[in-house]
Amino acid sequence: MKIAMGADHGGFRRKEALKAYLEEKGHTVVDVGTDSTESVDYPEFGKKAAQLVASGECERGIVICGSGIGIGIAANKVKGIRCAMVSEPYSAALCRRHNDANMISMGARTIGGDMTKEIADVFLEEPFEGGRHIRRVEAIEEEVWEK
């Protein structure tokens, strides 16, 4: 599978480790950065990874920052992105089964490296259930909610 990956300085090392793990498993990773632990702003990397997924260039996206929160919020600003912040495998499965999530965000400061890999495996393998969940996902995609 072709996967977009991005991280800020807080998620850089974890991104590198997860990228190596996924590539070893045969996936293709498109890495939008960042490329070091030098301080950067997470919105840029959430946006770039999300645009690769929304455009169809990549099938899924995985983004990592310190908490997993900011970079996921940024990714969700791109139309067509359903990015779930995930800290354990069951939520990774549910975000695929029920929400057809096309991206996940994780926190390098909140979960360990092995958990990151386990979550990524579940996210990439689990199918969308369809059925009653289709209209719910479509409602998110089609409607614009004014403030």
Q: Which positions lie near ligand RB5, rule CB under 6 A?
A: 8, 10, 42, 65-67, 69-70
Shortest CB 73 distance to ligand RB5, Å: 8
Distance CA(147)–CA(145), nearest Å, equals 7
Q: Is the peptide bond between 37 and the residue preceding it cis, with omega within 30 degrees of 0?
A: no
Q: Which is nearer to ligand RB5, 63 or 124 (CB)?
A: 63
Active-site option among 58, 65, 83, 95? 65
Classify 135 as helix, strand or coil: helix
**Which residue is nearest to ligand RB5, using beta carbons?**
70
- CA 8/CA 147 separation, integer angstroms: 29
* Count of H-run helices and E-run strands, the chain: 6, 5
Task: Name the residue nearer to ligand RB5 (CB basis): 72 or 100.
Answer: 72
**Closest CB to ligand RB5 among 42 and 100?**
42
Q: Least distance (Å) from ligand RB5 to the CB of residue 66?
A: 3
Measured from the CB of residue 76, what is the shortest distance to ligand RB5 in angstroms?
Answer: 13
Instruction: Please provide residue 89's backbone torsions phi and psi, each rounded to the nearest 5 degrees.
Output: -65, -35
Task: Please say if 133 is a catalytic residue.
Answer: no
User: Is residue 47 within 8 Å of residue 54, measured between CB atoms?
Assistant: no
Query: From the annotation, which residues make up the binding site for D-ribulose 5-phosphate?
Result: 8-9, 66-70, 99, 109, 132, 136
